[in-house]
A and B are shown apart, each in its own frame.
Chain A
Amino acid sequence: MTDLSQALAPARPRLAGRLKLALCIFALMAAVPPLAHALGEPFLIVVATRMMVFAIAALSLDLILGYGAMVSFGHAAYLGFGAYAVAVLSRAGIDDLFLHLLAGIAASAVFAALTGAISLRTRGVYFIMITLAFGQMAFFFFVSFSTLGGDDGVALTARSTVLGMPLLQGAQGMFYVTLALLVLVFAGLYRLTLSRFGRVLTGTRESALRMQAIGFRPFPYQLTAYVIAGCLCSIAGVLLANQAIYVSPAYMSWHRSGEMIVMLVLGGIGSLTGAMVGGLVTIALEEGLARYSEHWRLGFGLILVLVALFSPGGLSGLLRRLGLGRDAT
């Protein structure tokens, strides 16, 4: 009987644990700039900014992959749309961050709506591959765009401004704007996944057939989630372009899309905090290992293989099995 009541009890306590973990992460991240200054390593701020940018990207992918069971292998395209929105608009003399975000989101929404509607006709492996195809189309579109540097990419003249103020110019300003957007994206997705919409989406993940049987057509929910995920990922793209002051098609290569899936699986899917942790840890690992050796990919690859072989459920699964942070999924 206790088993049953446990199973039927709303997932409240688990969710509270999840929120606590997220708040801890935000607090830790907020402490990075003063710590980095105290340690005399301002480089850490730049690394932490990149970590958070990819945490946003991983969060956006978690909505469709973790909650909707739609494994998109072309998600890096939206990173590119955000980045190129910055490049195109700043070339036209428009420097405002909000307009850049708006343009990136609009472009992503259109692309995601069109390609999502076609991709959702397929299932399983075929869905993975058709999203890959659309991602590659976007990639090659920008590779051959010679006015924007083509294959080589294009350097930006300056970072975006916020309401006319050069808030992003310094590493610290860039960092806190990124952190603020990370918190916003997390909070938005947290609310969304707990809403009626999120519940229906999770239902289609478990069984599209049963959802249909109780009167929900999965397609509109899945497509909406697909579009939202694309839009959120373009936010990461806008930030990435600003952080590097450089935009290149390499942001949208299939390798990036694969890396985003890796982040998610590494952190644990379908919990938002897992995605965030995965994004942060992956970039931290990459940057950290790269400082030790030019052959860092060897170590990074080995870690991925070992996690896949011995720790199902990624890092969250590992924590659970160690008995730590039972609520930390």
Chain B
Amino acid sequence: MFNLFLLQLLNGAQFGILLFLVAAGLTLVFGIMDFINLAHGVLYMVGGYVMAMMMGATNNFWLSLAMVLPLTLAVGLVLEVLVFRRLYDRSHLDQVLATFGLVLVLSELVRIIWGSAPLSVAMPEILSGSVPLAGPVRYPVYRLGVIGVGLGVALALWFVIARTRVGMLLRAGAANRSMVSALGTDINRLFMLVFAAGAMLAGFAGAIVSPILSVDPGMGDSILILTFVVIVIGGVGSVKGAFCAALLAGIVDTLGRMFGPIILKSIMDPAAAAQAGRTIAPMLVYVLMAAVLFWRPAGLFGRSVAR
């Protein structure tokens, strides 16, 4: 039982790390630019597809992964210049309309180019084994790698945000955009940078998850909503909050699906427990979010200022 728990805890952490990679860019876009971007999940999907395409062309995992970064960065820049830049001053509703349209356009383009059938990406030889973990339990190296890389990215982000000049401007921008602009910083360049970096992180997440899950046109949608949940639990604009909330959401979701039915079985009859477990498990993350917002209406690390 303990081994199972440990295994699921790691799975939850790995899922959480993935959520964090997607959420980090989105929470900055959200917090600094006050911009609702429904198309962020599509960038995650594009990352997965670019990875699959490069793997098909080169059959080299590391080279493909290295190519994903500049390509998704470029996609992010193009979208920023063509669409997002014109929407920063507009209402949330116009932003929802435009980015909802972009989701449709980009998902359909992906379907036209690569078809709707799921694609799979081979794992690199060196990471395909598993390592022993506490007695008889073994854990796949690749998933440990994902956790490690995610922690590395989180650390790097923390360094950039807390210790560099750009990071200082980001923090200042999240607190008061117009003041930063008035003090002589080119806020539009900053926006472009944040947006492109966020796109690259989301694409990177899509690329590294492709050997574990398959790449399909619906993958962006399913992660987008969870990403929003993570951002809101953590507090809009806070990367630290996104990190904590992503791990929390990943672990709660994974453990809930596994142990929810087991725990329920001890208090009700098995058939009802199985049904109730299936019903409650996918809701847990949303219950968590509603509960957090009930007690802290601006998220765990959010500043409680009304915009």
By a beta-carbon cutoff of 8 Å, the part of chain A in contact with chain B is 65, 71, 118, 121-126, 128-130, 132-134, 136-137, 140-141, 143-146, 254-255, 258-259, 261-262, 264-266, 269, 295, 297-298, 300-305, 307-309, 312
20 A-B residue pairs with Cβ-Cβ distance under 8 Å, sorted by A, are: A65-B93, A71-B92, A121-B293, A125-B30, A130-B290, A140-B282, A141-B279, A255-B221, A258-B96, A261-B100, A265-B96, A295-B108, A297-B105, A301-B104, A304-B97, A307-B97, A308-B98, A308-B101, A309-B98, A312-B90
B87 contacts A309, C-beta separation under 8 Å: yes
A123 contact from B92, B228, B287, B306, Cβ within 8 A: B306
CA distance A65 to B92 in the complex (A): 12
Nearest CB in chain A to that of B289: its residue: A133
Please tell me which one of the listed residues B86, B96, B112, B294 contacts residue A309 in the complex, with CB atoms under 8 A apart: B86
| B137 in contact (CB, < 8 A) | no
Contact of B290 (CB < 8 Å), options: A125, A133, A143, A269: A133
Tell me which residues across on chain B come within 8 A of A309, comparing CB atoms.
83, 86-87, 98
Q: Do residues B297 and A301 form an inter-chain contact, with CB atoms below 8 A?
A: no
User: Is B293 touching A301 in the complex (CB atoms < 8 A)?
Assistant: no
B 79-94 to A, binary, CB cutoff 8 A, 1 in contact else 0:
0000100110010111
Measured CA separation A132–B87 after assembly (Å): 23
Please state if A298 and B102 are interface contacts (CB–CB under 8 Å).
no
Cβ contacts under 8 Å, A303 to chain B: 101
* Pairwise interchain contact A145-B97, C-beta atoms closer than 8 A: no
* Set of chain A residues within 8 Å of B275, measured between Cβ atoms: 144, 146
Residues of chain B in range 207-230 having any CB-CB distance to chain A below 8 Å: 221, 225, 228-229
B298 proximal to A (CB < 8 A)? yes
A297-B104, A302-B101, A309-B87 known, 16 other contacts, Cβ within 8 Å: A71-B93, A123-B306, A128-B92, A140-B279, A144-B278, A261-B93, A261-B96, A261-B100, A262-B101, A265-B94, A298-B112, A305-B101, A308-B97, A309-B98, A312-B90, A312-B94
Residues of A within 8 A of B221 (CB): 255
Q: For window 20-40 of chain B, which residues contact chain A by CB distance below 8 Å?
A: 30, 34, 36, 38
Contact assessment for B232 and A143 in the assembled complex, using a CB-CB cutoff below 8 Å: no
- Tell me the interface secondary structure of chain A in the complex: helix
Residues of B within 8 Å of A140, CB to CB, are: 279, 282-283, 286
User: B residues within 8 A CB of A302?
Assistant: 101, 105
Nearest-neighbour CB distance to chain A for B299, whole angstroms, equals: 7
A298-B225 CB under 8 A given contacts A140-B283, A258-B96, A304-B97 = no
Contacts of B97 in A (CB 8 A): 261-262, 265-266, 304, 307-308
Residues of B near A125 (CB, < 8 A) are 30, 34, 36, 92, 232, 236, 307
**Contacts A144-B275, A301-B101: A269 and B228 contacting too (C-beta < 8 A)?**
no
In Å, the complex CA distance between A124 and B236 comes to 11
Nearest-neighbor residue (CB-CB) of B282 within chain A? A140
Provide the residues of chain B in CB contact with A122, threshold 8 Å. 293, 297-298
Does B107 interact with chain A (Cβ within 8 Å)? Answer: yes
Chain B contacts of A307 at CB under 8 A?
Answer: 97
A140 and B257 alpha carbons, distance in the complex (Å): 13
Q: How many residues of B contact A (CB 8 A)?
A: 50
Question: What is the CA–CA distance of A134 and B229 in the complex, to the nearest angstrom?
Answer: 11
Give the Cβ gap from A175 to chain B, nearest Cβ, in Å: 28
Residue B138 is within 8 A (CB to CB) of chain A in the complex = no
Q: Which of A71, A137, A141, A295 contacts B111 (CB 8 A)?
A: A295
Q: Are A262 and B279 in contact (CB-based, < 8 A)?
A: no
Residue on A with the closest CB to B277? A144
Please name all residues of chain B whose beta carbon is closer than 8 Å to the beta carbon of A130 when the two chains form the complex.
Answer: 232, 289-290, 293
Contact A269 B293 (CB under 8 A): no
On chain B, the residues within 8 Å of A132 by CB distance are 225, 228
A141 (CB) vs chain B CBs: closest residue: B279
Tell whether B147 is near chain A: CB-to-CB under 8 Å. Answer: no
Give min CB distance, B236 to chain A, whole Å: 6
Question: What is the bound-complex CA distance between A145 and B279, given in angstroms?
Answer: 7
Residue B103 interfacial (CB < 8 Å): yes
Question: What's the Cα separation between A286 and B130 when bound, in Å?
Answer: 48
- In the complex, whether B109 has a CB less than 8 A from a CB of chain A is yes
Q: A298 contacts which of B108, B232, B298 (Cβ < 8 Å)?
A: B108
**Which 8 pairs of residues, A with B, have the shortest CB-CB distance?**
A304-B101, A301-B104, A308-B98, A301-B105, A305-B101, A298-B108, A140-B282, A133-B286
Contact B290 A118 (CB under 8 A): yes
Contact B297 A121 (CB under 8 A): yes
Chain B nearest CB, measured from A253 CB (Å): 9
Q: Is the CB of B112 within 8 A of A137?
A: no
Other-chain residue from A121, A129, A146, A262 in contact with B232 (beta carbon distance below 8 A): A129
- Look across to chain B and name the residue whose beta carbon is closest to the beta carbon of A65: B93
Question: How far, in Å, is B149 (CB) from chain A's closest CB?
Answer: 28
Contact residues in B for A297 (Cβ distance below 8 Å): 104-105, 107-108
| Contact of A128 with B36 in the complex, beta carbons under 8 Å | yes
In the complex formed, the residue of B with least CB distance to A133 is B286
**Inter-chain contact B225/A305, CB cutoff 8 Å:** no
Residues of A within 8 A of B229 (CB): 129, 133
Please measure, in the bound complex, the distance between the C-alpha atom of A305 and the C-alpha atom of B101, giving whole angstroms. Answer: 5
Q: How far is the CB of B33 from chain A (nearest CB, A)?
A: 12
Q: CA A137 – CA B282 in complex, angstroms?
A: 8
Contacts of A136 in B (CB 8 A): 225, 283, 286
